[in-house]
Amino acid sequence: MKTNIYKKIFSLALMAMPLTAAAQTTLCTFDADDYGALSVFDSWDDSPFVTGALQGNVAVVSNPAPNEGNSTAKVLGVQRSRFGSNKFGAKIRLKTPFELTTATRYVHVLINKPVAGRVMLIGLGKRDNRAAQSDQVEQFWALSTVPAAVGQWYDAVFAVKGNGGISISSLVVVPDCESSHALADDFIAYIDEIEIGDTPEPRFRASDLSTNATATSARSTICRISVTARNGDVLKADGSVLSGASVPSGQPLTIWMQPAPGFRQNGISVRHGHLSGDSLVNGIPQWKTVQVPANLFRKNRYTLPASYMDGDVEITAEFAEKKSTSSAANRVPNLNNAASAYTMVWHDEFDAANGTPADTTKWGRCPRQSATWSRLLSDVAEVCFQQNGHLVLRAIPNRDTSKDNAAMLTGGVQSRGKFSFLHGRIECRALVHPHEGNFPAIWLMPEDHSDGWPACGEIDIMEQINTENRAYHTVHTHWTYTLGHRNDAAPKTSFNGTVDMSQYHTYALEWTKDSLFWFVDGTPTGFYGREPAHATQKQWPYDKAFYIILNQSVGDGTWASSPDLAHTYEMNVDWVRVYRKNEADNISGLQTQTPQHVQVD
Amino acid sequence: MLKNYKLLAASLVAGFPLCLWAQLTPVQQTYTYPKNAPAPVFPVPSERQMAWQETEFYAFFHYGMNTFRNNQNGGDNEWGYGNEPETDYAPTKLPDCRQWIKAVKAAGMKGGIAVVKHHDGFCLWPTATTTHSVSRSGGVGPKVDVPRLFSKACEREGMKYGFYVSPWDRNSASYAQPEYVKDVFLKQVSELAKYGSDQFEMWFDGANGGDGYYGGANETRSIDAATYYDMPNLADSVHKLQPNCVIWGGFEARWVGNEAGYAPITNWAATTEDGWKWCAAEADTKATNQGWFWNDGETPYTPERLYRMYLETVGRNATFILNVPPNKAGVLPDASVSALKGMGDLIKARLTADLATAATVSASASRANFGAANLTDGDKNSYWATDDGQNTATLTLTWSTPQTAHYVMLQEFIRKGQRVKAFSIETSADGITFTPRATDQCTTIGYKRIVPLNGSTSDYGTGFPVKAIRISITDSKACPLLHTVSVF
């Protein structure tokens, strides 16, 4: 099918009609006086062909291969110089300019060149309404949708469009849009039969398609993911970075959209397939674009079907602004921006059936001891259970003192002996209910208590007392507590700020080798750092693994007030998530402790 | 740039290898670069792209209608709808652009970009294109001309300047029709291009189309962003007036792909390794915890966090544009000023004292006239290179007394193209035994790459004792060219 059809169509077009209703308009055949000035062109400012150090070699010559798909007598030849840039080519001034339209049109150019490599078409022209503008302004740059056939004529196709009102007066055919640094010798490329029209299909196909088959056949077993997102990010389901990730092809992938404050997810656009080459190979589209609307997401998550995972996958996220319905207090970023640099390594979403106890593979109950917070702890089910996707911790009046004579029973869980970590980030979304005597806490203690409290160290991520709309963030160490530096101006050891306690908030701690940062809803609220000058005074006991404690206690008048014995106190924990820093030193990576017998203090 | 090329010979050669058909007579040409310099690897940056890249770190100032409306509706008015009464912009005094630019200078920035029109269409200068501007505003608004105030302030402080002008205009009745671009948008750009004489970047937001007021139509409109704004001719007209002004938005510089203040470790100026166009990445993010515009109650991030962003952007071959919102009084609040100062202090403390200048530098291979001494001579135009075809090499820095090193900084001579694909860094405390560092981070270099030796951009650490550092280029598109190696 290759040669004759094209030749017939072409000669018909030549004889019969110029440009009217026909879909295709002939621009240059080089067989007649249908082209303007010829030269070489280079868009590199310092090109020797721009400075005049070298002269280009371009001319209309005899067709070097008249029976290989193009039998016309004359063609344009250009010497591709190894001293030109990747945008070096043959410039043809058109006898009649054409208008660049907002609708895509297709320029077809027959090309015959001895090497592979991308070809490009550059349009030079001007806006019609700018009298003083040069007509040599670059207006479009199009790579051919048909890959180069080597050593024979083929029909390169360039999709072009632009703002209306622009006339293209010259075309530059770039026969080798690749860097020239490795080109050992110049080569000659031939150009012929330039048309513009509405047909994306090449006028004929080169007989030897072996070089064309690679795009569709050489699919990898790995999908490379790229993400573009503004006003938010798209992460893997576990919260780790998605952009740039390689995942197995042919397997579904769950993604997680993370809107920035003030924005909501509004779906994604997914382009998948073979993205790095031309859009069309032999008329076969190389990629597909699929819109995934917001309503297909559940909790900002969506699973891309296996059929999309067939090469490169480019995800463009849409985040729409929230209208003024949400107040700042309602924004609950479960991760601030920084979290994209982290990988979630441990979490509990407390999503078990209503009434289920806390997961015993992750948590144990805090045992009753003599400290204020621990003096009323109890193992009864009513003070610690999961409900509606939350962990409920309570302090309740003790209505049956026959088994336990404590005035109240309070609930607390700890990950001691089951999970602990050194460095990283922990986040906990929780709601507390202020009331006189209230004393809930989210905090960390070391697995190794052997130094004794407070020398062993304590990190309070969040404490709240009584009716206060205020969150406290505190460290206790030998240096701060025993040596009396609790109220030093620097470094500060305790922080607090106003927080609307009628709302859920995300309380976070970022822990590095030398520093602790506290956050509430992503806002920094405190910092405590290693002070090398006080190293011998146990100022920094935070070089070892700590475990997590969540508890609903009541005060005794030492800080939080004594409790209202008839009241039921409650804290609701939506989730706890722990992240490892993606680029942390290996030595400061997370340590997961194996379960072990725990000595009760 | 080296421009004195020399034409050595132009003659016919009988045995030209590829002239199978002999229809076009090939001309044998030879061309050499002065002083044995290597050929470029394309694409390469233009002069204005080079100047832009060297700006490295600059500020973003969102100030305008939204500053005055943000707190009216719970802080979510980042994108005004376009129907805001002009009188809602009612400053009681002129914005103090000098204060803005002084504050960001203390952070180590070299310039700034001021928003002069956001999506709401309200123009912060007396434009002839619309009445939706400061000329009808309240307070001292009619006297406000942000591009003038801002460009003057920057010139006084020796800082670069540029403007953000939103292509999307939710106020204009003709938005999405050709008339908007011709009679409003391009004219606004031309008006802005007349401010000052040395703008370095004009910022065209990628947010395009959607619902809006549109002169009372209150509807959703969409456009084809690929053609609607006529970027080639917009750029042509800006460059006529401002030859050093890079057009941002994928034309001459591109968005890094996120708003979180980081660039990928592997980062090609041509977007991909085989990209045909030089279009380096700019990373934009906020220095504060709420909007791009001022919100009551917002707080800046810590200097440490801002410093980390710097390492993950400027240190990864991207430029960094950091947003600090001026408040209703037209000034940056004290908290922002001190966070910026803190950030600048960290950059100064950690990235100024270059240990490499006191080191002995040797190279396993060097091109004649392009020796290793060029790496530490403080001259960005002199560089070390290898011979053509020599795509790997090892640089060794040694000190007579042990030093403490936290970072290695590398800079390619990108005027001749970005080349390096992979490298390694090893340190030695005794000058004999070497240990690899940051092994998962050493891919591309580009204009500037800052590698934390402990692999962490957030943990400064205590550093590594070094008597020697070895940097090996292990894969490159062509012979590697580095103009600077620094150790901090």
Taking the C-alpha atoms of residue A222 and residue B436, their distance in angstroms, rounded to an integer, is 29
- In this prediction, residues A444-452 reach a mean pLDDT of 88
Per-residue confidence (pLDDT) for residue A173, from 0 to 100: 98
> Which ranges in B352-411 belong to alpha helices (H)?
none
Q: A62 to chain B nearest CA, in Å?
A: 6
- Could B181 and A163 be called an inter-chain contact, meaning their C-beta atoms sit closer than 8 Å? yes
Per-residue confidence (pLDDT) for residue A333, from 0 to 100: 30
pLDDT at B458 over 60: yes
Residue of B nearest to A51 (CA): B3
Could you tell me the pLDDT band of residue A280, with boundaries at 50, 70 and 90? low
| Region label for A434, one of left (φ > 0), alpha (ψ between -120 and 50) or beta (otherwise) | beta
Residue B144's closest CA among B97, B202, B210?
B97
Q: Determine phi and psi for A87, rounding to 5 degrees.
A: -115, 50
Contacts of A132 in chain B (CB under 8 A): none
pLDDT at B68 over 50: yes
Contact A358, A391 (CB under 8 A): yes
Per-residue confidence (pLDDT) for residue B79, from 0 to 100: 86
Residue B441's closest CA among B396, B469, B478, B407?
B407
Could you tell me the pLDDT band of residue A2, with boundaries at 50, 70 and 90? very low
Nearest CB among A54, A75, A229 relative to B258 is that of A229
Residue A169's closest CA among A13, A35, A29, A41?
A35
Contact B77, B70 (CB under 8 A): yes
- Could B23 and A75 be called an inter-chain contact, meaning their C-beta atoms sit closer than 8 Å? yes
- Could B21 and A583 be called an inter-chain contact, meaning their C-beta atoms sit closer than 8 Å? no
Per-residue confidence (pLDDT) for residue B13, from 0 to 100: 37
pLDDT at A328 over 70: no
Q: A424 to chain B nearest CA, in Å?
A: 11
- In this prediction, residues B40-47 reach a mean pLDDT of 98
Assess A246–B contact: CB distance below 8 Å, yes or no.
no
Taking the C-alpha atoms of residue A228 and residue A270, their distance in angstroms, rounded to an integer, is 11
Per-residue confidence (pLDDT) for residue B14, from 0 to 100: 36
How many Cβ atoms are within 10 Å of A254's Cβ, its own excluded? 11
- Could B23 and A137 be called an inter-chain contact, meaning their C-beta atoms sit closer than 8 Å? no
Nearest CB among B73, B227, B274 relative to A102 is that of B227
- What's the token pair of residue B8? 């050595």
DSSP letter (8 states) at residue B38: P
Of residues B78 and B323, the one with the higher pLDDT is B323
pLDDT at A324 over 50: no
Per-residue confidence (pLDDT) for residue A11, from 0 to 100: 39
Contact A167, A98 (CB under 8 A): yes
- Could A181 and B16 be called an inter-chain contact, meaning their C-beta atoms sit closer than 8 Å? no
CB contact burial A330-353 (16+ within 10 A = b; e otherwise): ebebbbbbbbbbbbbbbbbebebe
Give A 29-48 residues with CB within 8 A of chain B: 44-46, 48
- Could A45 and B47 be called an inter-chain contact, meaning their C-beta atoms sit closer than 8 Å? yes
Please, which residues have CB within 8 angstroms of residue A445's CB and are 6 or more apart in sequence? A414, A416, A456, A457, A458, A459, A546, A547, A549
Please, which residues have CB within 8 angstroms of residue A299's CB and are 6 or more apart in sequence? none
Per-residue confidence (pLDDT) for residue A10, from 0 to 100: 41
Of residues A248 and A27, the one with the higher pLDDT is A27
Residue B300's closest CA among B279, B320, B327, B319?
B327
Assess A321–B contact: CB distance below 8 Å, yes or no.
yes
Residue of B nearest to A316 (CA): B257
Query: A with B: how many residue pairs have Cβ under 8 Å apart?
Result: 237
- In this prediction, residues A470-481 reach a mean pLDDT of 90
- What's the token pair of residue B402? 């042990």
Predicted TM-score (pTM) of the model is 0.66
Residue B414's closest CA among B41, B38, B5?
B41
Give B 440-459 residues with CB within 8 A of chain A: 440-441, 454-459
Taking the C-alpha atoms of residue A72 and residue A66, their distance in angstroms, rounded to an integer, is 6
Q: A522 to chain B nearest CA, in Å?
A: 7
Contact B191, B134 (CB under 8 A): no
Could you tell me the pLDDT band of residue A278, with boundaries at 50, 70 and 90? low
| Locus of tokens 């100064």 | B348
Nearest CB among B24, B41, B454 relative to A79 is that of B24
Give the model confidence (pLDDT) of B344-373 as tens digits: 999 999 999 999 999 999 999 999 999 999
Taking the C-alpha atoms of residue B129 and residue A101, their distance in angstroms, rounded to an integer, is 26
pLDDT at B22 over 70: no
CA distances from B156 to B56, B95, B98, B161, B459 (A): 20, 16, 8, 11, 37
Average pLDDT in chain B: 92
pLDDT at A595 over 60: no
- What's the token pair of residue A10? 């072409």
Per-residue confidence (pLDDT) for residue A267, from 0 to 100: 86
Give the model confidence (pLDDT) of B322-345 as tens digits: 999 999 999 999 999 999 999 999
Could you tell me the pLDDT band of residue A281, with boundaries at 50, 70 and 90? low
Contacts of A514 in chain B (CB under 8 A): 459-461
- What's the token pair of residue A209? 């398609």
Residue of A nearest to B308 (CA): A338
Taking the C-alpha atoms of residue B166 and residue B205, their distance in angstroms, rounded to an integer, is 6
Q: A96 to chain B nearest CA, in Å?
A: 21
Contacts of B266 in chain A (CB under 8 A): 244
Give the model confidence (pLDDT) of B217-243 as tens digits: 998 888 888 899 999 999 999 999 999
Average pLDDT in chain A: 82
Mutation site for A-interface testing, chosen from B19, B25, B29 by largest number of A Cβ within 10 Å:
B29
Taking the C-alpha atoms of residue A59 and residue A76, their distance in angstroms, rounded to an integer, is 6
* A101-115, A253-267, A457-471: segment of lowest average pLDDT: A253-267
pLDDT at B16 over 50: no
Per-residue confidence (pLDDT) for residue A598, from 0 to 100: 28
Could you tell me the pLDDT band of residue B207, with boundaries at 50, 70 and 90? confident
Residue B367's closest CA among B435, B413, B415, B318?
B413
Q: DSSP of A65-106, one letter per residue? A: -TTSS---SEEEEEEE-TTS-TTEEEEEEEEEEEEE-SS-EE
Between the ranges A123-127, A266-270, A401-405, where is the mean pLDDT highest? A123-127
Please, which residues have CB within 8 angstroms of residue A270's CB and are 6 or more apart in sequence? A289, A290, A291, A292, A304, A308, A313, A314, A315, A316
First to last CA, chain B: 29
How many Cβ atoms are within 10 Å of A220's Cβ, its own excluded? 12
Give the model confidence (pLDDT) of A543-567 as tens digits: 999 999 999 999 988 889 999 888 8
Per-residue confidence (pLDDT) for residue A442, from 0 to 100: 97
* A330-339, A419-428, B109-118: segment of lowest average pLDDT: A330-339
CB contact burial A366-396 (16+ within 10 A = b; e otherwise): bebeeeebbbbbbebeebbbbeeebbbbbbb
Give the model confidence (pLDDT) of A214-237 as tens digits: 333 334 577 888 888 888 889 988
Contacts of B75 in chain A (CB under 8 A): 262, 327-328
CA atoms within 13 A on the CB side of A514: 13
- What's the token pair of residue B280? 């380096």
Mutation site for A-interface testing, chosen from B8, B16, B18 by largest number of A Cβ within 10 Å:
B18
pLDDT at A22 over 60: no
DSSP letter (8 states) at residue A232: E
Residue B458's closest CA among A510, A591, A345, A521?
A510
Taking the C-alpha atoms of residue B451 and residue B94, their distance in angstroms, rounded to an integer, is 43
Assess B207–A contact: CB distance below 8 Å, yes or no.
yes
ipTM: 0.92
pLDDT at B117 over 70: yes
CB contact burial B388-411 (16+ within 10 A = b; e otherwise): eebbbbbbbbebeeebebbbbbbb
Taking the C-alpha atoms of residue B11 and residue B9, their distance in angstroms, rounded to an integer, is 6
CA atoms within 13 A on the CB side of A449: 13
Contacts of A160 in chain B (CB under 8 A): none
pLDDT at A446 over 70: yes
Taking the C-alpha atoms of residue A197 and residue A194, their distance in angstroms, rounded to an integer, is 10
Decide the pairing of beta strands A420-421 and A546-554: antiparallel
pLDDT at B284 over 90: yes
Taking the C-alpha atoms of residue A59 and residue A72, their distance in angstroms, rounded to an integer, is 16
Residue A237's closest CA among A217, A220, A219, A251?
A251
- In this prediction, residues B62-82 reach a mean pLDDT of 77
Mutation site for A-interface testing, chosen from B7, B11, B23 by largest number of A Cβ within 10 Å:
B23
First to last CA, chain A: 88
Determine what percent of chain A is predicted with pLDDT higher than 90: 45
* A308-322, A334-348, A443-457, A484-498: segment of lowest average pLDDT: A334-348
Residue B3 burial (CB < 10 Å; 0-12/13-18/19+)?
Answer: exposed
The sign of the torsion formed by the CA atoms of B229, B232, B235, B241 equals negative
pLDDT at A212 over 80: no
Q: DSSP of A465-520, one letter per residue? A: -TT--EEEEEEE-IIIIITT-TT-SSS--EEEEE--TTS-EEEEEEE-SSEEEEEE
pLDDT at A599 over 90: no
Of residues B75 and A487, the one with the higher pLDDT is A487
pLDDT at A285 over 50: yes
Per-residue confidence (pLDDT) for residue A304, from 0 to 100: 86
Assess B29–A contact: CB distance below 8 Å, yes or no.
yes
Could you tell me the pLDDT band of residue A311, with boundaries at 50, 70 and 90? confident
Assess A323–B contact: CB distance below 8 Å, yes or no.
yes
- In this prediction, residues B120-143 reach a mean pLDDT of 96
In single-letter form, the type of residue at position A12 comes to L
* A102-111, A487-496, B53-62: segment of lowest average pLDDT: A487-496
